[in-house]
């Protein structure tokens, strides 16, 4: 009987401890020894924790330097320094409640993840082909998480583009062999962090808890499993970061520590979306403020990153994510709308900790000067960005789109691609620029070219052979279509075959049409050739002036020369190869990479209408 009573008391104690643990949340809940980022701010969130007193830490190598309290009594932030001598272990944090009861918190200090810069944090480079996936729309590997009890959005309707469809991280993991076979070497996933909002949560850009992977995607465990499996197959993983804003349901907005964490206006003020004011020497200060501090949309509160607590919260989360999950790089959403001084600080913290990590930012702007302002450039100006690269909207809007769709002219058609490329002198390293044809916010390129497969092949050939890091959007390889009108959901349709019971499984040869297989195989051949081509991956670029609608450029190094030709005309053309003797002198034959045919180089080369050639010179 005595033993039963003791057991019951122990059980009761465990339940009480568990209750206490669940009452308070620590952000972050763990860190690592040996980090350069060793001055940490630990946020404790819980009912009336701000009324606690006597906070103390007694752990070798850990110093509590300051206790920060706020207008909301539900927050405390502890300034903690972790010395190089600190060892892994569980750190006890003590405090006393307003009623005088002792309350203990636990913080885990762990050994660092092995393989930094080799196994993880390896960065996407010009040697990679990135594949962008919206997890909710790619493949449903675990139907049990389609709906999660307690989450605000309980929709699950695949017959509408507005609701969640059930795709998840397990579904992506199941298709890694498919992606690797296609020639993909890196995955960029639209945000995987929790978006516990009432509606339109499939895109993932309205975070509600930074330290939780969305459970409808499989949660933390599924994300770690996906990354582990991807790395085992030689695939890198790029995570989508959103520093500018959060979702209305984020706990830090619903219960704000004080009034300084978010940009406030007398009435709702949206950003003017005018990036020019940030570098315009004549710009009005108010226009700059609205650009940077205005909200993106009504449902996404805008962080005030000049608040040091906000800045530290976001930077710590970025560093924590790389170490916790083992990702390889970051794509940063809405880069131009952030506080740019904060962004430099955040980027530097990641570079210092992970020298090989890659970071590129979304800069949906117009003009190479505009775009290059936001990344490492060759300007001598007051603001100097340390962002490695951007998503290259310029080679898309003022390059490959007009090359495919406009008639050739002095400044029209493929001349725009040449002219835009000529402005690469503004970038510190144009090989880091991410080039693409479409993404989750843009019309699918197959629709942009009027479902013309000749134009489509020409564009893909350009993307897979040009300078920079190519990024393709899921479904490009099977001719998925879609326009952003009436809304962007139509460019985010499900990948056919990703759900049990789909009428066709386009992950397989048998499930694709003859036309789809031709495009799939074309992309696959070029992508896999790219994997072994030193000239394309890391070589130089030389372009020749377009003449009569024909554009020729070369990728080359000491080992290999690749000649790329685009005939943008609706009629055949003949080009005189003597014009390109600067690059082809000494070569006798060429291999048509797509066709696998070798032929002798003669004086003239015949080009089919609306066609392209990728020739490896021998």
Q: What ranges do the domains of the chain cover?
A: 18-110, 130-532, 541-617
pLDDT at 598: 97
CATH number listed for the domain at residues 18-110 = 2.60.40.10
Residues taking part in catalysis: 333, 362
User: What confidence tens digit (pLDDT) does each residue in 268-320 have?
Assistant: 999 999 999 999 999 999 999 999 999 999 999 999 999 999 999 999 999 99
CATH 3.20.20.80 fits domain 130-532:
yes
Identify which of 70, 24, 20, 15 has the alpha carbon closest to the alpha carbon of residue 47: 24
pTM of the model: 0.95
Over residues 13-30, the mean pLDDT reads 63
pLDDT at 23: 83
pLDDT at 88: 98
User: What confidence tens digit (pLDDT) does each residue in 602-617 have?
Assistant: 999 999 999 999 999 9
Q: How confident is the model at residue 200 (pLDDT cuts 50, 70, 90)?
A: confident
pLDDT at 199: 86
Q: How confident is the model at residue 2 (pLDDT cuts 50, 70, 90)?
A: very low
Distance between CA atoms of residues 138 and 148, nearest Å: 19
Identify which of 137, 204, 165 has the alpha carbon closest to the alpha carbon of residue 495: 137
State yes or no: pLDDT of 143 exceeds 80.
Answer: yes
Among all chains, which residue has been given the structure tokens 């729309």?
A: 137
Which residues on adjacent β-strands are paired with residue 330?
239, 359
Contact criterion met (CB below 8 Å) for 469 and 427: no
Identify which of 548, 580, 578 has the alpha carbon closest to the alpha carbon of residue 564: 580
Q: Say whether 599 sits in a helix, a strand or coil.
A: strand
State yes or no: pLDDT of 4 exceeds 70.
Answer: no
- For residue 350, the 8-state DSSP code is H
pLDDT at 218: 98
Vertex 146: Cα angle to 142 and 149 (nearest 5): 125
Contact criterion met (CB below 8 Å) for 376 and 390: no
State yes or no: pLDDT of 17 exceeds 70.
Answer: no
State yes or no: pLDDT of 21 exceeds 50.
Answer: no
User: What confidence tens digit (pLDDT) does each residue in 549-587 have?
Assistant: 999 999 999 999 999 999 999 999 999 999 999 999 999
First to last CA, the chain: 89
Best CATH choice for the domain 541-617 from the list 2.60.40.1180, 3.40.50.300, 2.60.40.420, 2.60.40.10: 2.60.40.1180
pLDDT at 201: 86
Write down the mean pLDDT value for the chain: 95
Q: How confident is the model at residue 19 (pLDDT cuts 50, 70, 90)?
A: very low
Distance between CA atoms of residues 345 and 356, nearest Å: 17
State yes or no: pLDDT of 12 exceeds 70.
Answer: no
20 CB-contact burial (10 Å; exposed 0-12 / middle 13-18 / buried 19+): middle
For 209, list phi and psi in degrees, rounded to 5: -160, 105
Residue 248: which residues within 8 A CB-CB, separation 6 or more? 197, 206, 254, 299, 300, 301
Compute the Cα dihedral for 68, 72, 73, 77 and give only its sign. Answer: negative
Distance between CA atoms of residues 168 and 146, nearest Å: 8
Distance between CA atoms of residues 492 and 190, nearest Å: 11
pLDDT at 8: 33
Distance between CA atoms of residues 549 and 553, nearest Å: 13
For 584, list phi and psi in degrees, rounded to 5: -105, 0
Q: How confident is the model at residue 5 (pLDDT cuts 50, 70, 90)?
A: very low
Are 18-110 and 130-532 equal in CATH topology?
A: no
Contact criterion met (CB below 8 Å) for 344 and 313: no
């Amino acid at each position: 009987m005595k033993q039963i009573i003791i057991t019951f008391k122990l059980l009761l104690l465990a339940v009480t401890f568990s209750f206490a643990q669940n009452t308070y949340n620590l952000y972050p809940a763990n860190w690592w020894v040996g980090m350069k980022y060793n001055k940490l701010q630990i946020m404790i969130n819980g009912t009336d924790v701000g009324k606690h007193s006597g906070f103390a830490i007694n752990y070798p190598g850990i110093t509590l330097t300051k206790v920060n309290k706020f207008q909301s009594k539900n927050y405390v932030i502890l300034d903690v320094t972790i010395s190089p001598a600190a060892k892994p272990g569980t750190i006890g944090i003590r405090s006393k409640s307003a009623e005088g009861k002792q309350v203990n918190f636990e913080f885990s200090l762990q050994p660092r993840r092995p393989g930094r810069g080799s196994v993880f944090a390896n960065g996407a480079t010009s040697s990679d082909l990135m594949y962008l996936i919206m997890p909710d729309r790619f493949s449903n590997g675990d139907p049990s998480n389609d709906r999660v009890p307690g989450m605000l959005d309980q929709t699950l309707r695949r017959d509408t583009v507005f609701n969640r469809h059930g795709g998840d991280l397990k579904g992506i993991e199941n298709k890694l062999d498919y992606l690797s076979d296609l020639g993909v070497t890196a995955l960029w996933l639209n945000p995987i962090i929790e978006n516990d909002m009432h509606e339109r949560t499939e895109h993932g850009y309205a975070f509600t808890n930074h330290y939780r992977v969305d459970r409808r995607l499989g949660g933390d465990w599924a994300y770690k499993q996906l990354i582990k499996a991807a790395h085992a197959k030689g695939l890198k993983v790029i995570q989508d970061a959103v520093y500018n804003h959060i979702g209305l349901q984020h706990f830090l907005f619903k219960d704000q520590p004080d009034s300084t964490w978010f940009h406030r206006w007398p009435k709702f003020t949206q950003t003017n979306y005018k990036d020019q004011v940030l570098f315009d020497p004549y710009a009005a200060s108010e226009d700059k403020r609205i650009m940077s501090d205005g909200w993106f949309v009504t449902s996404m509160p805008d962080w005030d990153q000049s608040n040091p607590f906000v800045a530290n919260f976001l930077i710590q989360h970025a560093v924590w994510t790389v170490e916790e999950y083992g990702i390889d790089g970051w794509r940063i959403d809405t880069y131009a709308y952030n506080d740019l001084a904060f962004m430099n600080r955040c980027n530097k913290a990641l570079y210092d900790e992970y020298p090989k990590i890659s970071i590129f930012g979304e800069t949906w702007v117009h003009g190479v000067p505009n775009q290059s302002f936001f990344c490492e450039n060759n300007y001598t100006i007051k603001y100097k960005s340390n962002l490695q690269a951007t998503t290259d909207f310029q080679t898309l809007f003022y390059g490959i789109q007009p090359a495919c769709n406009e008639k050739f002219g002095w400044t029209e058609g493929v001349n725009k691609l040449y002219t835009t490329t000529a402005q690469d002198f503004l970038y510190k390293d144009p090989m880091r620029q991410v080039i693409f044809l479409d993404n989750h916010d843009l019309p699918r390129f197959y629709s942009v070219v009027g479902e013309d497969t000749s134009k489509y092949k020409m564009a893909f050939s350009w993307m897979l052979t040009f300078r920079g890091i190519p990024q393709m959007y899921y479904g490009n390889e099977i001719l998925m279509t879609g326009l952003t009108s009436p809304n962007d959901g139509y460019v985010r349709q499900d990948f056919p075959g990703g759900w049990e019971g789909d009428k066709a499984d386009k992950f397989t040869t048998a499930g694709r049409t003859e036309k789809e297989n031709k495009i799939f195989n074309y992309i696959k051949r070029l992508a896999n050739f790219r994997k072994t081509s030193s000239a394309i991956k890391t070589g130089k670029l030389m372009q020749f002036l377009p003449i009569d609608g024909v554009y020729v450029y070369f990728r080359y190094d000491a080992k290999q020369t690749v000649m790329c030709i685009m005939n943008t005309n609706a009629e055949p053309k003949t080009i005189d190869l003597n014009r390109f003797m600067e690059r082809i002198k000494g070569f006798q034959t060429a291999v048509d990479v797509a066709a696998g045919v070798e032929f002798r180089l003669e004086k003239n080369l015949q080009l089919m209408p609306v066609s392209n050639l990728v020739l490896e010179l021998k």
